[in-house]
Structures are given as structure tokens and as C-alpha cells.
Amino acid sequence: MNIIMANDHAAVELKTEIKNYLEAAGHHVTDLGVGNGERADYPDKGAEAAREYLKGGYDFGILCCGTGIGISIAANKVKGIRCALPQNLFAAQMAKEHNNCQFIAFGGRIEYPQPVTQMVQGFIDASFGGERHARRVEMIMEIES
């Protein structure tokens, strides 16, 4: 898979952990985030990754900031993007199965009940359910109009 990632300075370690996990599994990761010692504003990083995703060529994206909240809000402001903020494995799977999200976001300062890499894998393994969920996703996207 071709995955886009972005992060701010509050989630460098988490971004690195996820990126290493994905690359070890054979995925290609485009990293728009920052490394140790660099500072970045999460709204800029979320919007940058979302806009780059919309250019095409990516299967999905992962965003990380201190809580995951701000960067997910920023990405969701980009027309056409659905970014979820899963709090556990079940929510990560449902983000794909029910909402067909293109992005998931995590917080570098959050303690999750399962490893974040497990949630990422759950998102990867999930498939969009279509049918009744497609109608609801369309309803969500119509809100942008």
C-alpha cells in the first residue's frame, strides 16, 4: 500500500513507530511530518497531507499530533476528506467499514488500550461495507455542499 503520513512535534515518536511498522510490512510511506527538534503546526500538517492525498496515488493516510484531535479536525476541513480519531481497535475498523475514512489520526500523548500499530493494522485489514453505509457516507459528504 501507498500511505501518506504527517505529524507535528508532539507526535514524532508515535509517527516513527507507525512508519517503521508499515515499512517493515512492505508498505511505502510518504512522510510529510517533522522529526526530532523540528516544530510544526498541526493544522498546517493535517491540511497538507489531506490535500496531497486528494492528488491521488495513496491508499490512505495517518496523522499524528499531541492528541490527534487538532490534526484530524484540520484534515476534515479539506473538502472530500473523512478522518477518524479511533480510540481503540474496534473504532479503527469501523472507521473503514462504516465510514470509509481515508485518514485515521492518533495522539502522541494519549495512552491507548491497544497498541496503535494494532489499530493501524485493523484499519488496513477492514473493508468498506458499502450498501447502507455508502448512503450514510454520501449523507456526510453532502454536508460539505
Active site residues: 65, 98
The grid coordinates listed for 64 are 499524528
Beta bridge partner(s), residue 62: 5, 104
Tell me how far the alpha carbon of residue 30 is from its chain's centroid: 13
Most distant pair of Cα atoms in the chain: their distance: 46
Give Cα 122 distance to the centre of its chain. 13
Three-class DSSP category at 45: helix
Q: Are 21 and 117 in contact (CB under 8 A)?
A: yes
